[in-house]
Amino acid sequence: MDIKEFFRSRFNVDPAAVAQAPGRLEFIGNHVDYNKGLVMGVAIDKHISVAVSLRDDDEIRMASAGLNAEGAVSLGNVSLQSGAQSFMNYPLGVFAMLREAGLKAERGFNLADASTVPTGAGVSSSAAIELATAYALCKIYDFPLSKIDIVRTGRKAENVFVGMPCGILDQGVSGFGEKDAIVRIDCKTEEFSALPIPAGTVFWVFNSMVKHALVAGDYAKRHASCMAAAETLGKYDPKIRCLADATLSAAEACRSKLSEEDFKRAVHVINENARVVEMEHALAVGDLAAVGDLLKASHASSRDWFENSCPEIDFLVEELSAQPNVYGARLSGGGFGGIAIALASEAFSEAQAEKVADAFEAKFGKRPKYFQTKIGEGAGLVA
Ligand code: GLA
């Protein structure tokens, strides 16, 4: 679907700006971002494109090619939509946060989106639409923001407008993605760096086809557990302001003051944060066996300590890890369904992917979608 053509077909004018933003894979650092630790991710070669133009009235009109939906609200009524108009919420949230940051809008806008990012699959189509929207709206309202501010606006739209207490991983990777690079984020300082992906490796993505209906609720519950654990640990040692500051011995010392659940969540975050540091070393020296082991260990920790995996994802990770040419596999993203990723050598074949899909289908009675992805550029204006 050509975004400009789609835009014209819906609004009878040419777009004044077009922006594009990629989906992402979480490489390692599961649920570490909002605990202010270290995370790594990569931008995939699938994008959401957003085209916009100013209107002469005070309407906001949107059309989504992928979701086959249309909707409208007025400038005076920018609030969370439900039902058929709920597809508007991410762009509306971005617009609301831009206004909060000082953008003055006397006229409304038209917005159309088209996407190659699968929705609800765990590759963060939401961050992609947020970032593309932010770039496009900043252009037409002449409200220039730096990349980091665009990223923060996307996250704020999610936290404040949509009500999802996510960290900065998804928007950060979609914004700071670089070709053939892993984006490393220090979520405490919000510093970004790029590490080359190991030579000769490729990413494969398997969709478990499990879309947990309560994903937002489960995510928020994990978030609340982490915040509660950090608070308790902070009373024991005031230097601990977030779980990324904590050590296992501090968690052990506080064990009797923590619920069993909160203790387990804290142990995962503390160990996972340490694994990201180890991953950086393994990548720097090109030790692919160690990289693979860290991916597998990350998965085991999410499964056993953070308890955000599910049988379908565990199965995919086991099957993938057992395949020749695979260094390691793990769940990627929020969890409770979504995707498993594998870091494989270029020798990993379509026939092997089919074999994994066959085994999955034999067990669960449905076929997982899968794809190999290149690691692409981050978000930006394209016209
Ligand atoms: C989702 C959130 C991210 C991050 C991951 C888990 O993708 O949006 O902020 O917390 O889950 O690491």
Give pLDDT tens digits along the chain (383 positions).
Answer: 799 999 999 999 999 999 999 999 999 999 999 999 999 999 999 999 999 999 999 999 999 999 999 999 999 999 999 999 999 999 999 999 999 999 999 999 999 999 999 887 889 999 999 999 999 999 999 999 999 999 999 999 999 999 999 999 999 999 999 999 999 999 999 999 999 999 999 999 999 999 865 556 999 999 999 999 999 999 999 999 999 999 999 999 999 999 999 999 999 999 999 999 999 999 999 999 999 999 999 999 999 999 999 999 999 999 999 999 999 999 999 999 999 999 999 999 999 999 999 999 999 999 999 999 999 999 999 99
Ligand 1 pocket test: pick from 27, 28, 31, 158 the residue with the most ligand atoms within 8 Å of its Cβ.
Answer: 31
Question: CA 334 to CA 234: how far, in whole Å?
Answer: 26
Helices (H) and strands (E) in the chain, counts: 11, 12
CA of 26 to the centre of ligand 1 (A): 8
Pinpoint the alpha helices (H) of 144-198.
147-156, 169-176
Ligand 1 pocket test: pick from 117, 131, 156, 170 the residue with the most ligand atoms within 8 Å of its Cβ.
Answer: 170
Ligand 1 pocket test: pick from 34, 169, 218, 305 the residue with the most ligand atoms within 8 Å of its Cβ.
Answer: 169
334 in ligand 1 pocket by Cβ < 6 Å? yes
Instruction: Tokens for 31, please give them.
Output: 């649920």
pLDDT, position 184 = 98
What DSSP designation does 241 have?
A: S
Please give the C-alpha separations between residue 230 and each of 36, 201, 237, in angstroms, as whole numbers: 11, 37, 10
Please name the residue that has the structure tokens 């020296």: 285
Question: CA 134 to CA 117: how far, in whole Å?
Answer: 18
130 in ligand 1 pocket by Cβ < 6 Å? no
Question: CA 21 to CA 130: how far, in whole Å?
Answer: 8
302 in ligand 1 pocket by Cβ < 6 Å? no
Can you give the length of the chain in residues? 383
Question: CA 372 to CA 5: how far, in whole Å?
Answer: 29
pLDDT, position 137 = 98
Bridge partners (DSSP) listed for residue 380:
20
Question: CA 169 to CA 171: how far, in whole Å?
Answer: 6
CA of 215 to the centre of ligand 1 (A): 11
Question: CA 298 to CA 273: how far, in whole Å?
Answer: 10
Catalytic residues: 170
All residues at 6 or more sequence positions from 205 whose CB lies less than 8 Å from its CB, including other chains: 25, 44, 123, 332, 339, 340, 341, 370, 371, 372, 373
**74 CB-contact burial (10 Å; exposed 0-12 / middle 13-18 / buried 19+):** exposed
pLDDT, position 215 = 56
By the 8 A CB rule, do 148 and 190 touch?
Answer: yes
pLDDT, position 365 = 98
pLDDT, position 326 = 98
Question: CA 368 to CA 226: how far, in whole Å?
Answer: 31
Please report the atom of ligand 1 found closest to the CA of residue 124.
Answer: 7
Rounded to a whole number of angstroms, the CA Rg of the chain reads 21
Question: CA 305 to CA 371: how far, in whole Å?
Answer: 29
Please report the atom of ligand 1 found closest to the CA of residue 127.
Answer: 8
3-state secondary structure of 342: strand
Please name the residue that has the structure tokens 């494969």: 204
CA of 39 to the centre of ligand 1 (A): 10
CA of 204 to the centre of ligand 1 (A): 19
Domains in the chain: ranges and CATH? 3-196 (3.30.230.10), 201-373 (3.30.70.890)
Sheet architecture: strand order including 369-373:
326-332, 337-345, 201-211, 369-373
CA 227 from chain centre, in angstroms, equals 20
Q: Whose CA is nearest to atom 10 of ligand 1?
A: 31
Instruction: Tokens for 150, please give them.
Output: 């665009």
pLDDT, position 122 = 86
pLDDT, position 211 = 84
